[in-house]
A and B are shown apart, each in its own frame.
Chain A
């Protein structure tokens, strides 16, 4: 899973110093754990707050545990101290087969003394954690989803009290599990108030990141809730960023395969029914008539095409460009309407691209002669999940000393040759592959490269060579006598 973390220097030597969770179990204790689950469609946001107390002097490395199911679904993991904006460095300790959990370490900024406390806030985003239930729905039916998770938050340390709050987007919750035989509490296990379902509080839980606890005590809870927005899943995204120095232009092209991951359509699609619904403004929750995308400022010449050709049902409102590197929050708005409303289980593929001035993205460091360019990893598509993403950055011809810095570690990286208009030797192309990207993956990919001056001249000289070839053929042709009769 692509994660937002930078491997700390302590990681390598910790591998030997920290054999397994049991030895670390003595250095911390959780005084309280509160897990808040914000239910959504394709994405589920989970915020877990750990109130930790150090049991030894100099404790600074806290270990988090994720169960197998939870880890498979987690696409984003970040930790910070409550009230502070800075992210804490995370370390990945991988899977421990004896305990059946995945471990991560968080480096606290200041080591805690005995009985020192800290509040750790861990935010995760889960993808593919919900599924539509019922699996099929007619055009007029509402849309409901089911979400299953573990009842207890597991941790390698003892927990004094823990509770889980699950917040549904609407108060309409069809059902939620009422687990039986729970040892750690004497009161009722689950309460519901409005759109929030609270499981707990559970008292005095021993270190739970072990196979025994998970087998014996862990329970699954399932919430069945109403969801009023279409679930957008992009099964494949091919994003290409092409840099042109002659045209001072950055062209970004996205090839998107859109899938509506809601309940499959049962029966026929009635256009008449759809027109009636949109006329009265009451389209069903699982129908995706269009999307509003936020594109970068300063773009021009945007194109929206699909297999048939140009799609005219779109409207782009551009916004003037902002200087490079600034965090301005102005976006160009593109109102996209596919040729047909995308119903549950339906797919739609299209290509969306635009040109933007290169000055907004690239800089030139005259001290080293390097160009630095920052390309956004994704176009923000709120609440959508991208299953597979391939991001290609095409540098100008003759680029050397190429170095790239993705914001999240990629599944695979490669540099190949790409040939396009007026190329002779081809351009370097950096390809990065990712899986399960969410709307939180909004970093920039930075690339530094050098282009010598003569590489810029390669294109005009290639065209000039073609011209002179034509002229030489003309020279030879003029000297050939093709008359039938010699005068």
Chain B
């Protein structure tokens, strides 16, 4: 059970928080990822129908994953720090 003074000392001594991805890179990452998502979504729309939609699902999942990270980066760029 630490007390106030020890937490205060801990706060002062620990290294400063640093995000996994530096903030200045986020706008560019957002643009690249969302651009890739858009391109892949377009490609997805051109794929022919198959019995087992393996190719379509592969393209869809990569597009979604890139889109997920792209949207989070876009939110942070826009000023809504999620």
Chain A residues near B (Cβ < 8 Å): 6, 242, 244-249, 251, 301, 323-325, 355, 357-366, 371-374, 403, 405, 407, 420-422, 444, 446, 448, 456, 459-465, 467-468, 471-472, 474-475, 478-479
Contact = CB atoms under 8 A, between A and B. Distances in A.
A6 B71 CA distance: 47
Given A251-B81, A444-B8, A467 B64 contact: yes
A219 to B, nearest CB: 41
Interface string B35-51: 00100010011000100
Nearest to B33: A460
Contacts of A324: 11-12, 16
A446 B23 contact: no
Interface of B: 2-4, 7-8, 10-21, 23, 26, 37, 41, 44-45, 49, 53, 56-57, 60-61, 63-65, 67-69, 71-73, 75-76, 79-82
Contacts of A464: 64-65, 67-69
A365 B41 CA distance: 41
Contacts of B44: 471, 474
A130 to B, nearest CB: 32
29 contacts: A6-B3, A246-B19, A246-B73, A247-B23, A247-B76, A247-B81, A251-B81, A325-B13, A358-B17, A363-B15, A363-B17, A364-B14, A365-B14, A403-B2, A421-B80, A448-B10, A459-B68, A460-B65, A460-B72, A463-B68, A463-B71, A463-B72, A464-B69, A468-B64, A471-B60, A472-B60, A474-B60, A475-B57, A478-B49
Given A248-B17, A372-B10, A405-B7, A479 B72 contact: no
A358 B10 CA distance: 16
A249 B81 contact: yes
A471 B69 CA distance: 17
B18 A248 contact: yes
B69 A460 contact: yes
A57 B13 CA distance: 42
A382 B10 CA distance: 29
Nearest to B71: A463
A172 B4 CA distance: 44
Chain B at the A interface: mostly helix, strand, loop or mixed?
A: helix
A355 B79 contact: yes
A468 B62 CA distance: 9
A475 B76 contact: no
A14 to B, nearest CB: 19
Nearest to B37: A467
Given A249-B81, A446-B4, A467 B67 contact: yes
Contacts of B14: 363-365, 372
A206 to B, nearest CB: 39
A405 B56 contact: no
Contacts of B3: 6, 405
Which of A248, A301, A361, A374 gathers the greatest number of chain B CB atoms within 10 Å?
A248
Nearest to B40: A471
A355 B81 contact: yes
B82 A325 contact: no
A301 B53 contact: no
Contacts of B11: 324-325, 363, 372-374, 444, 446
A374 B14 CA distance: 12
Given A245-B19, A460-B69, 6 more contacts: A325-B13, A358-B17, A371-B17, A444-B8, A463-B67, A467-B67
Given A245-B19, A358-B17, A364-B17, A471 B64 contact: yes
A365 B10 contact: yes
Contact of A246 (B2, B49, B81): B81
Given A363-B15, A459-B82, A461-B68, A421 B75 contact: yes
A355 B18 CA distance: 16
Nearest first, the 3 A-B pairs at minimum CB distance are A464-B68, A247-B81, A363-B14
Contacts of A245: 17, 19
B53 to A, nearest CB: 6
A460 B68 contact: yes
A362 B18 CA distance: 9
B16 A459 contact: no
Nearest to A423: B82
A246 B41 CA distance: 25
Which of A360, A372, A407, A479 gathers the greatest number of chain B CB atoms within 10 Å?
A372
Contacts of A371: 17
